[in-house]
Each structure stands twice: as structure tokens, then as C-alpha cells.
């Protein structure tokens, strides 16, 4: 399984606005099977060990979309995700940052 991880970083005060914004994009099909997504989750970074003030100052939210393979993940990245990130920069301004990583699941058995 391939996971496309997108971490969004912004001012903590934008949490409710951001989650509402992302839910609206989900309703518009961002995470749909038509876009190749077979599962998704959203996590908030609540602590960075050794960085006591991190969670108080910034909001980091990781969106993880799951795909059958890297081909599907790359297609989503070029299409639905590219559009989402353009809207994110437009709607949340130049201080709203993001970075992406593509992960492969490793069986520990």
C-alpha cells in the first residue's frame, strides 16, 4: 500500500477554519475512490518531544491518503492534490506551509 502524506502547517488560531475547509474539499471528492483513494485519515501533531512550545505556537495537521500503488498516488498528487494545495495557498496566505511525502507500507511479520 502507498500512503501520500501531506502535512499542513499554519497558525494555531486557524484550526477550526482549516478543518472546515478540508471537510468541504472532502465532500467535493478530494478523497473519493474516483480519485484512486482507498482510505484516508487526518491527524494533528500534538507534541514534538523536546520542543515544549511547538504545539502552542503552530498547528500541524497530516492528511494521509491511501492508494493501491505509487502510480495511483502520483496521479492524485498531480490532480486533486495539486488543486487542493493551490487553494490552500490562496485561502490561507503565504505563511501557511505544506510538505508532502510518499510512503510505502512495510510488513513487519
Domains in the chain, please, with CATH? Answer: 2-104 (3.30.70.100)
For residue 18, is pLDDT > 70?
A: yes
Could you give the angle at the alpha carbon of 57 between the alpha carbons of 56 and 62, nearest 5°? 90
* CB burial of residue 9 (10 Å; 0-12, 13-18, 19+): middle
Percent above pLDDT 70 for the chain: 97
Any idea which residue has 503552530 for its cell?
Answer: 58
pTM: 0.89
90-102 per-position pLDDT tens digit: 999 888 899 999 9
Distance between CA atoms of residues 58 and 12, nearest Å: 5
49-68 per-position pLDDT tens digit: 877 676 677 899 999 999 99
Nearest to 63 by CA among 75, 80, 51: 80
Amino acid at each position: 500500500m502507498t500512503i501520500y502524506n501531506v502535512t499542513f502547517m499554519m497558525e494555531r488560531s486557524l484550526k477550526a477554519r482549516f478543518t472546515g475547509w478540508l471537510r468541504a474539499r472532502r465532500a467535493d471528492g478530494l478523497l473519493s475512490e474516483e480519485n484512486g483513494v482507498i482510505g484516508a485519515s487526518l491527524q494533528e501533531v500534538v507534541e514534538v518531544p523536546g520542543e515544549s512550545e511547538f504545539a502552542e505556537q503552530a498547528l500541524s495537521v497530516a492528511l494521509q491518503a491511501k492508494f493501491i500503488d505509487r502510480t495511483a498516488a502520483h496521479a492524485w498528487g498531480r490532480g486533486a492534490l495539486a488543486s487542493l494545495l493551490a487553494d490552500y495557498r490562496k485561502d490561507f496566505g503565504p505563511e501557511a506551509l505544506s510538505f508532502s511525502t510518499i510512503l510505502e507500507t512495510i510488513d513487519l511479520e
